[in-house]
């Protein structure tokens, strides 16, 4: 993330690689937690639950907004065209290729065209 707390295209791509790894970890932990619960292994289930919470906290600490856990959509705070906005990504998309202003949501997201003025780190 940029030092100013906003993502630019470079920092969002670097962070996206990290986020994909964390989502893979979560994907592995979910079934393990369910299996432990089904077996009545509450100690293991609790440990796995804590690991899931820790990963979610790491994501939030990087200022990534988890918009919809079921759809796996995420927003990265940015300044686009001199306005607060979000670079947005949905799991499965190869790169961050969309954005929207703060008062808009996933349905209003726009394609990144290269014409946008995205504040970059100095």
31-73: per-residue pLDDT in tens?
A: 999 999 999 999 999 999 999 999 999 999 999 999 888 888 9
User: Is 78 strand, coil or helix?
Assistant: strand
Measured between alpha carbons, how far is 3 from 52 in angstroms, rounded to an integer?
27
Query: How would residue 102 be classed by pLDDT, with cut points 50, 70 and 90?
Result: very high
User: Would you say the C-alpha torsion 44, 50, 71, 111 has a positive or negative sign?
Assistant: negative
Task: Tell me the whole-structure pTM to 2 decimals.
Answer: 0.86
The mean per-residue pLDDT over the stretch 23-32 comes to: 94
Work out whether strand 83-90 and strand 73-80 pair parallel, antiparallel, or are unpaired.
antiparallel
Say which DSSP state 107 is in: G
The answer to whether residues 82 and 89 touch, using CB atoms and an 8 Å cutoff, is: no
């Amino acid at each position: 993330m940029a030092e100013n707390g906003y993502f630019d295209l470079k920092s969002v791509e670097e962070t996206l690689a990290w986020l994909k790894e964390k989502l893979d970890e979560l994907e592995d932990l979910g079934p393990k937690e369910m299996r432990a619960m089904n077996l009545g292994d509450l100690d293991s289930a609790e440990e796995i639950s804590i690991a899931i919470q820790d990963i979610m906290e790491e994501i939030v600490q990087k200022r990534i907004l988890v918009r919809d856990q079921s759809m796996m959509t995420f927003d990265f705070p940015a300044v686009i065209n001199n306005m607060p906005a979000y670079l947005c990504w949905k799991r499965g998309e190869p790169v961050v290729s969309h954005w929207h202003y703060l008062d808009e949501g996933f349905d209003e997201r726009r394609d990144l065209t290269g014409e946008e003025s995205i504040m970059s780190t100095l």
